[in-house]
Amino acid sequence: MLFPDELQVNFCYFKKKHGKRGFMKKRKLGKNGPVVSAIGLGCMGMSEFYGKSDDKTSSEIIMAALDLGITMLDTADMYGSGHNEELIGRTLNNYSGELFIATKCGIQRKPGEYARTINNSPEYIRTSVENSLKRLRRETIDLFYLHRVNREIPLAESIGTLADLVKEGKIRYIGLSEVSVSTLEEANDVYPVTAVQTEYSLTTRDAEKELLPFLEKTGTGFVPYSPLGRGLLTAKLDKTAVSAEGDLRKFLPRTGEIFFEENMKTVNLLQKHAEQAGYTPAQIALAWILSRNDSYVPIPGTRHNKYLIENCKAVEIRLSEETKAFLERLFTQGSIHGERYTEEGMKGLNS
């Protein structure tokens, strides 16, 4: 098994062998999308939702990720009410290396509250893009998503505004987050959507029914968020961790009090198999996503260097047919108990 200290040694070896960019592989995000690192870095937890964090450590993790060869950073204007974008902007203010930043707009929240509204109006989109550019300290946003879609606002107007922003050089590619196939089809009629972001992991496979076949058919890129099941698939969660102040997982059915122990029984079986194969459960979970399609770019988040290195090593794993079959048997429909989240449950963050 590759323990953290061994992973660090391997990192140094690959850095020496391959140069500053580490050992990270690359892949094309969809048929007509950009070439980015095979794994990106989700930065949301550096601002909120997963307990306390500090900017110094977060900046160090971002720079370490780039040093390992990660080029794609994922953020949104609502993460920390702009704090996440500002953090990235400050950290990378003088960075001149390869970089691909994806951000989003569409969810409006009051600072410190979860209660939200969805705004896709052209005016709001334009204002959001300008504000994100300032916070990120960039002239162009590489990939800009509608974080959620409000069907009360004509989608053609929202996508049309994004298309105009592409022409103006404010954004390079258009993305959508958590959308249905019908919404994606409607959006593509106005302007090609480069990538779709949706929660996807061994614990959350709803997208396999309709969305993923459609993305493959159309050549649209896919960015799975929470690829480690909000930490569940690391096998490192315990009740103390998920009950920390500011951690949303205590309000989510799968990691909350009701189903946590039951779901950990399944994860413990994954951990046992992973150790026998010489890997960690997180590495197996990420390697599984990477093996599903060569245009999937998962964006696990972390605030710890040893886990960052561990996640990056997943690009080198080739799962055996035995392991793939085991995962299909273990993570069947209903094997993970509870919904991935509920609006009512997450309102607990406001208390």
| Residue 172: strand, helix, or coil | strand
> How many C-beta atoms lie closer than 10 Å to residue 108's C-beta?
16
User: How do beta strands 100-105 and 107-109 pair?
Assistant: unpaired
Contact 162, 190 (CB under 8 A): no
CA distances from 283 to 167, 190, 192, 286 (A): 40, 39, 33, 5
Distance CA(182)–CA(168), nearest Å, equals 28
State yes or no: is 173 an active-site residue. Answer: no
Catalytic-labelled residue, pool 50, 79, 145, 225: 79
Distance CA(176)–CA(105), nearest Å, equals 10
Angle at 344 between CA 343 and CA 345, to 5 degrees: 95
Distance CA(164)–CA(152), nearest Å, equals 21
Distance CA(78)–CA(72), nearest Å, equals 19
Q: Which residues are catalytic?
A: 79
